[in-house]
Structure 1
Amino acid sequence: MKIVGLSGSNVGSKTRTAMDYTVKSIKENHSEVEVTLIDLADYDLQFSDGRNYLEYKGDTGYVVQTIMEADAIIIGTPIFQASIPATLKNIFDLLPVNAFRDKVVSMYATAGSQKHYLIIEQQLKPIVSYMKAQIVQSYVFIEEKDFQRKEIINEDVFFRIDRLVEDTVVLTETYKKIREAKEAAYDF
């Protein structure tokens, strides 16, 4: 199983801090999983111009190919101005409309205000649903007060991220078994 941890911003540190813990949790609790961290701050990405994702080269080609090859994606995003960052939206625009078909997508958000918890429900879930994802329904919302000096200080956040990882792995395995059983039912 391949999981991509997608840190969806090119600025700030909180989402990357949470994504680093997410990757650590996967490695420690699910050693059979191949995990790749993609922090959008580390790549020089082109803006989507409508081309097929296979036509992009360099960093952009690597990022979209890695996402397309994954079985599951864990998206971490900060909330800026009551919305997801443009860098994350650009990733969705680079991918085909059915990019998440047969993939599990889970997510968390880091935000400075409690009022932003609905951004995942009202913006992110509709986008990944439109792209045909199987969505892990629960998500993690991490507030400014849960961080201090670029570290998570709230133990409950660790627990919730561990649970999100577990739910992502279990749902990915479950959908894989369902697809295999359905394919085995065909007699050719």
Structure 2
Amino acid sequence: MKIVIISGSIVGTKTKTAMLKTEEIFLQKYPEHDVQLLDLADYQIEYSDGRNYIDYEGDTKYVTETIMNADALIIGTPVFQASIPATLKNIFDLLPIHAFRDKVASIVVTAGTAKHYLMVEQQLKPILAYMKAQIVPTYVFIEEQDFLRKEISNDDIIFRLDRLAEDTISTFEAFEAIRIKKDEAYGF
């Protein structure tokens, strides 16, 4: 199984810190899976202009193809102005409408306060559902107070990230079994 962890911002450190911890958890608990971190700050990504993602070049092509080849996505995003950052939205815009069909998507959010917890339900989950992702229902919401010196200081957050990893694997396995059963029903 190919798992792609996305740090969906080009500024700040909290989302990257959370996604590095998520990557560490996956690598420790599930070494048999191919786990890759895509930190969008490390790439020069073009703005979406309506072309097919395979027609882009360089970093844009690499990032979009890596996402398209994934079986599961762990999407990390900060909350900017009560929404997802433009960098992450651009990634969604670069991909085709059904980009996440047969993919499991999990979510990790970093925010200054708890006031923005509904952003996931009202904005991010609808985008993922529109793109046909199988969304892990629970997500990890991390506030400013959960960090200390660029590290996650709240043990409950670590526990929830660990559980998110388990839920991601379990959800993928469940939907994979359903997909196989449907494919076998066709008899060819």
Question: Do both share a fold (TM > 0.5)?
Answer: yes
Q: Which residue identity is paired with 1:51?
A: R
Distance 1:178 1:82 in 2: 36
Q: Which string of whole-angstrom CA distances, capped at 9 and with x for unpartnered residues, describes residues 60-112 of structure 1? A: 00000000000010000000111110000000000000000010001011000
Look up the match of 1:31: 31
Distance 1:80 1:184 in 2: 45
Once the 2 structures are TM-superposed, how far is the Cα of residue 185 of structure 1 from its aligned partner? 2.1
Look up the match of 1:6: 6
* 1:78 maps to 2:105: no
| 3-state SS in 2 of match to 1:84 | coil
Q: How does 1:109-120 map to 2 (within 5 A)?
A: 109-120=109-120
Q: How does 1:83-102 map to 2 (within 5 A)?
A: 83-102=83-102
Look up the match of 1:166: 166
Q: Which runs of 4+ in 1 moved over 6 A?
A: none
Task: Give the number of equivalent residue pairs.
Answer: 188
Q: Which string of whole-angstrom CA distances, capped at 9 and with x for unpartnered residues, describes residues 147-175 of structure 1? A: 01101000000000000111001111111
TM-score, normalised by the number of residues in structure 1:
0.99
Structure 1: 5+ residue stretches without partners:
none
Distance 1:9 1:152 in 2: 18
| 3-state SS in 2 of match to 1:70 | coil
| 3-state SS in 2 of match to 1:83 | coil
Distance 1:187 1:103 in 2: 23
Look up the match of 1:146: 146
Q: Which residue identity is paired with 2:138?
A: S
Look up the match of 1:128: 128
Q: Which residue identity is paired with 2:40?
A: L
Q: Which string of whole-angstrom CA distances, capped at 9 and with x for unpartnered residues, describes residues 12-47 of structure 1? A: 000000000100100110111101100000000000
Q: Which string of whole-angstrom CA distances, capped at 9 and with x for unpartnered residues, describes residues 112-131 of structure 1? A: 01101111111100000000
Q: How does 1:49-68 map to 2 (within 5 A)?
A: 49-68=49-68
Look up the match of 2:183: 183
Calculate the aligned-residue CA RMSD, in Å: 0.6
Distance 1:40 1:177 in 2: 32
Distance 1:179 1:79 in 2: 34
Q: Which residue identity is paired with 1:116?
A: H
Distance 1:185 1:98 in 2: 23
Share of identical aligned residues, percent?
A: 64
